[in-house]
Amino acid sequence: MTDRRRTDGASLFATGAIALAAVALVATFAVAARAGSDASATSPGSTGGQAIDLDDGAVADPAVDPVALMQSSATAMSEVTSVEFRIEREGAPVFIDQFQEIALDELRGQFSVPTRAQAELTVTVSGNLPTRIGAVAIDSEVWISNPVTGDFETLPAGYDIDPSRFFDPEDGWQPLIANLSDVELVGIDDRGGERYHVRGIAGADDVRDITVDLVRDQDVPVDFWIHPSTSLVTAAEFTTTIDGADAQWTLELDRYGDSFTIEPPENVRG
Looking at residue 212, which CATH number applies to its domain?
2.50.20.20
Residue type, 257: G
259 found inside a domain: no
111 belongs to a structural domain: yes
Which residues 6+ apart lie within 8 Å of 10 measured at CB? Answer: none
Mean pLDDT of 144-169: 63
Task: Give the model's pLDDT for residue 232.
Answer: 95
Which pLDDT tens digit goes with each residue over 154-166? 865 544 444 445 5
267 in a structural domain? no
> Residue 133 falls within a domain, yes or no?
yes
For residue 182, give the nearest of 198, 197, 201, 166 by alpha carbon: 201
CA distances from residue 214 to 2, 94, 98, 162, 209 in whole angstroms, order as listed: 27, 8, 12, 15, 9
Judge whether 263 lies within some domain. no
Residue 162 lies in a domain: yes
In this prediction the pTM is 0.76
Report pLDDT digits (tens) over 195-228.
999 999 998 888 776 666 667 788 999 999 999 9
Q: What is the C-alpha separation between 168 and 175, in angstroms, rounded? A: 9
- Yes or no: say if 205 and 178 are a contact pair by the CB < 8 Å rule: no
Helices (H), the chain: 3-25, 37-40, 66-78, 173-178, 204-210
Confidence bin at 59 (pLDDT 50/70/90): very high
Section 85-97 average pLDDT: 81
Tell me if 166 is assigned to some domain.
yes
Greatest C-alpha distance within the chain: 62
Q: How many domains does the chain have?
A: 1
Domain of 182? Answer: 3-254
